[in-house]
Amino acid sequence: MKVNLNQIVEFQPGVYLKSSEFEKNRKAFFVGLKDFDEKFSFIGDAPRINPKKVKEKYFIAPEDVLFSTRVKFNAFKLPKNTNMQFVASNSFVILKPLLQKILPEYLHWYLNHYKTQESLQRMIYGQTSLPFISVKQLGDLEIALPNIETQKTIVKLHQLQKKEKQLTEKIINKKELYNQTLLLKTAQNE
Q: Give the per-residue pLDDT at 107.
A: 96
pLDDT tens for residues 87-116? Answer: 998 889 999 999 999 999 999 999 999 999
* pLDDT over threshold 80, residue 151: yes
Q: Give the per-residue pLDDT at 25.
A: 64
* pLDDT over threshold 70, residue 126: no
6 contacts 139 by C-beta, under 8 angstroms: yes
> pTM of the entire structure?
0.83
DSSP 111-148: HHSHHHHHHHHHHHTT--SS-B--HHHHHT-EEE---H
* pLDDT over threshold 70, residue 20: no
Domain segments of the chain as ranges:
2-145, 147-190
- Alpha helices, H only, the chain: 104-112, 114-124, 135-139, 148-189
pLDDT tens for residues 45-86? Answer: 788 887 777 888 988 998 999 999 887 789 998 887 677 888
Say yes or no: domain 2-145 is CATH 3.30.1600.10: no
